[in-house]
């Protein structure tokens, strides 16, 4: 299954000039822990970074910077790790693990943002088949006992 079929399409975005205060308020209003920073809020949003609530705490609050003056663009680190929407589920997990990221923007072939995938999303999806597999041995023994009486 491609990650584009699985990712969350409703992505909350902001531009690099957004202040940390405004970004935190946007996160709170939307009950999220990250914002995708894009170069435009128009129809073709191209991701240039991602800022998390942890970034705000570690890079701004803990060092005593004024969150009303610091902009999202000041927190961006390069390179941004993205995944193409046609990339497979397993390859996406490998990429996230290798790069050490918990959230990743999903882009189309033109580099336009189409969604986001997170560790939580993947973990939830992996849990379903793993749960099914966990009962296989028990069902197999039960099936054998019922059919070979």
Helix (H) or strand (E) holding 125: helix 119-134
Structure tokens at 110: 């033109």
**Per-residue confidence band for 13, with pLDDT thresholds at 50, 70 and 90:** very high
Q: Is the pLDDT of residue 3 over 70?
A: yes
Looking at residue 60, its pLDDT comes to 97
Could you report the per-residue pLDDT of 87-129, keeping only the tens digit for each?
998 899 999 999 999 999 999 999 999 999 998 888 777 777 7
Picking from 87, 123, 91, 93, the residue whose alpha carbon sits closest to that of residue 106 is 87
**In degrees, to the nearest 5, what angle opens at C-alpha 55 toward C-alphas 124 and 69?**
140
Task: Please name each of the domains of the chain with its CATH number.
Answer: 3-119 (3.10.580.10)
Contact 11, 35 (CB under 8 A): no
Structure tokens at 24: 């935190």
**In degrees, to the nearest 5, what angle opens at C-alpha 109 toward C-alphas 2 and 16?**
105
**Per-residue confidence band for 140, with pLDDT thresholds at 50, 70 and 90:** confident
């Amino acid at each position: 299954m491609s990650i584009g079929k699985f990712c969350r399409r409703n992505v909350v975005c902001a531009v690099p000039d957004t202040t940390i205060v405004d970004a935190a308020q946007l996160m709170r209003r939307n009950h999220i822990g990250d914002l995708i920073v894009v170069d435009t809020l128009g129809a073709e949003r191209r991701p240039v970074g991602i800022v998390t609530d942890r970034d705000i705490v570690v890079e701004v609050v803990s060092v005593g910077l004024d969150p009303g003056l610091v902009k999202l663009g000041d927190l961006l680190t390069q390179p941004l790790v993205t995944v193409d929407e046609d990339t497979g589920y397993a390859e996406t997990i490998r990429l996230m693990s290798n790069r050490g990221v918990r959230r990743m923007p999903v882009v189309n072939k033109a580099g336009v943002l189409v969604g986001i995938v997170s560790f939580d999303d993947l973990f939830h999806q992996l849990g379903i088949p793993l749960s099914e597999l966990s009962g296989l041995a028990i069902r197999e023994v039960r099936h054998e006992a019922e059919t070979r009486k």
